[in-house]
Chains A and B, each alone.
Chain A
Amino acid sequence: MVRIMNGWYVILNISVVIVGWVVLYTNAKRIATRAETRIILNNVLEKLNTLRTSATEYWLKEPGELSNGEVVFWTQKTLSELQLIDSSLQLLKRRNMNFDIINLFVHLRQQVTFGCEYRKKKSQEPDREKAVKLSESTHSIIEILEESFLDLYAPS
């Protein structure tokens, strides 16, 4: 009888250790995943802020301030950055962040790039309305992403 009890005691001890290890492992994994996702998110937010600054400055340039070469360079650099942001957003989705910002992102790309080729023309006045709108769109995207992160990883 004592031998049977000892046997159960050993099994119980091992089970407690295994369950404890699984709990610790799952928790550590969740913390690590959270930290990784936060790093990717911070990177996206930084890129969005840089884009906002760069695009706002671009659309507020005075007539004739930009050469053709500068316009082409800025546009191509910005298109690459927008695509990179889009790519990072997909990465965040694959990490279970749940957000729907396709329309907002399309809107942002339109505000940043629609007609940007014509800034080289001397008749192009600074477009303050566009600068404000693209800034608002960026802000909305940032807000949604932050909320989505908090939904997934509520602060403890």
Chain B
Amino acid sequence: MSTKVINIADDFSTKPYGRYPEDGDFNGERFRNEFLIPAIRDNEKVIVDLDGTRGYGSSFLDEAFGGLIRESVFSFDEVKRKLEIKSKFESYIEEITSYIQEANDNLSG
């Protein structure tokens, strides 16, 4: 079983910011398209390590993670099965989980 670990601070940026490319270079949409989608597509397990950055805004988290479901890239079950979020801040894990759940609820409802 292949496992991919993405450390956002090392692999992407220590200052992730914004939702769309017009907000900045290290936005949520870019992270989702260039890092998350290929990793989830090509691996059985993807661990995203959030530690080491200067913080995450809600727009970034929603676009990067909620967008996986909203843009119909993967099913809710696949994301739940493959994606693991790692952080010393439980609040980020909680927030990301809520965006994924909310995106799924909106699609189903």
Contact = CB atoms under 8 A, between A and B. Distances in A.
Interface of A: 72, 75-76, 79-80, 82-83, 86-87, 90, 102-103, 105-106, 109-110, 113-117
Contacts of B18: 117
B91 A86 contact: yes
B71 interface: no
A113 B24 contact: no
Given A72-B17, A75-B17, A110-B58, 12 more contacts: A75-B57, A76-B15, A79-B55, A79-B56, A80-B55, A83-B89, A86-B89, A113-B57, A113-B58, A114-B59, A117-B19, A117-B59
B90 to A, nearest CB: 6
A109 B24 contact: no
A106 B59 contact: no
Interface string B4-32: 00000000000101110001100000000
Nearest to B20: A117
Given A80-B54, A82-B55, A116-B59, A105 B19 contact: no
Nearest to A104: B91
